[in-house]
Amino acid sequence: MSARLNQSAAQILSSYDGPPLRIMEVCGTHTHEIFRLGIRKLLPPQVDLISGPGCPVCVTPVGFIDEAIWLAEHGVTITTFGDLVRVPGTSKSLAGARAEGGKVQVVYSPLDALTYAKEHQDEQVAFLSVGFETTVPAACLVADQALQEGVENFSLLTANKTMPNAYAALRDSADVFLYPGHVHAITGTALCEDLAAQGVSGVLAGFTAKELVTALAVAVKKSQEGEPFFVNAYPRVVRAEGMPAAVELIGKVMEPVDAEWRGLGVIPQSGLQLREAYARIDARKKFGMPRIEGKPNPACRCGEVLQGHCKPSGCPLFGKVCTPQHPVGACMVSGEGACSAYYQYGGDLL
């Protein structure tokens, strides 16, 4: 049964003979898995899979890394997801700051960052809060806990992002969105339904080979029917209502703010910052941080890559001065970035 269905999904993809179709995956983990599994090779030439701005590390502006380094250089212990350690700031990365004596601790979870702070009362500890709606609840949990328990040596440096206005900003870049399964596990499917009503099609996708191939097959088949659509192809995880307790918690701890997306510029109300009640654990306020603006490399074409206007290999820096070992642009800095995945998994070579 399953084998027959797998084949049907692959066949739907390979036999597509409709007009050109642009599908944008809006999740870095999708980008990574699609490249790792070689799923693009199952698609016919007129189906273009665009890797959108769904990697929080990639869209985090240069200035944020500079802010973190400022903290490290002022004696604050940085706790962070491993993803951010090698990302270049204007003059160096956190790995560079660590080599110069800054303290940078890689953690699996914001919960571990708070635990570290409690166990190291003689250090000031800041957690680099990046990530989308999936990751924000964990940060909000510890923010709330730190405030309630009066943990004095813990703070958050936030650069969190939210997807709704990014979809709006990117709606002309794709015919179908492959929605990020784990973001909508938190936020639910109402937004996707609304977008379909406004003419924006999308499929919610999971992360295994089978889930991704199925979601793409749904995208291709439904597109041929002509009407805008939304299909939840990840019902195992995503419920229509999402996770109300998490959404409520986010609203309690954080508030929307205009946010800069590296490579794309400022998208209104697409970021989150700690509410005034949490000022005591807001690293920017707590340490009186100056306003820091990073300087990205002007030759980089990441913004166009993220919107599907340019293939990674179409950028003059790609694979020459910009590689995963020496990333220049947003899309190369993280293993989940479009250029990095393209480079590492042989987008051009194979």
Partner 1 sequence: MCVGLSAKVVRVQDGMAMVDASGARREVSVQLMDDVEPGDYVMVHAGIAIAKITDEDEHETDEVLEALLA
Partner 2 sequence: MSNQVTLAMGAGGKQTAELIEKVFARRFQSPLLTADDAAVLERPAGRIAMSTDGFIVSPSFFAGGNIGKLSVCGTVNDLACMGARPRYLTCAFVIEEGFSLDDLEAIAESMAATAAEAGVTLVAGDTKVAGRGQVDGVFITTTGVGEVVEGAAPAGANARPGDAIIVTGDVGRHGCTILLARDDFGIEADVTSDCAPLWSSVEAMLAVSKDVHVIRDATRGGVGTVLYEIASQSGVGISLDASSIPVDPAVGGVCRMLGLEPLYLACEGRLVVIAPKEDAPALVEALRRAPHSQGATIIGTVTDERPGWVVMNTEVGTQTLLPQPGGELLPRIC
Task: Considering only residues 96 through 155, tell me which ones interact with partner 1, judged by CB under 8 A.
Answer: 108-112, 131-132, 134-135, 137-138, 141
331 binds partner 1 (CB under 8 A): no
35 binds partner 2 (CB under 8 A): yes
Rounded distance between C-alpha atoms, residue 47 and residue 43, angstroms: 6
CB of 228 to partner 2, least distance (A): 29
CB of 275 to partner 1, least distance (A): 18
Which of the stretches 18-26, 35-43, 148-156, 219-227 binds partner 2 when contact is defined by CB under 8 A?
Answer: 35-43
9 binds partner 1 (CB under 8 A): yes
308 binds partner 1 (CB under 8 A): no
* Chosen from partner 1, partner 2, none, partner binding at 344 (C-beta under 5 to 8 Å by type): partner 2
- Of 48, 90, 96, 107, the one binding partner 2 (CB under 8 A) is 107
Which of the stretches 83-91, 118-126, 225-233, 300-308 binds partner 2 when contact is defined by CB under 8 A?
Answer: 83-91
Task: Considering only residues 278 through 307, tell me which ones interact with partner 2, judged by CB under 8 A.
Answer: none
Pick 32 or 286: Cβ nearer partner 2 = 32
* Chosen from partner 1, partner 2, none, partner binding at 90 (C-beta under 5 to 8 Å by type): none
Residues engaged in binding partner 2 (CB under 8 A) = 10, 32, 35-39, 41-42, 56-57, 81-83, 85-86, 95, 106-109, 112, 130-131, 135, 209, 213, 324-325, 334-336, 344-346, 349-350
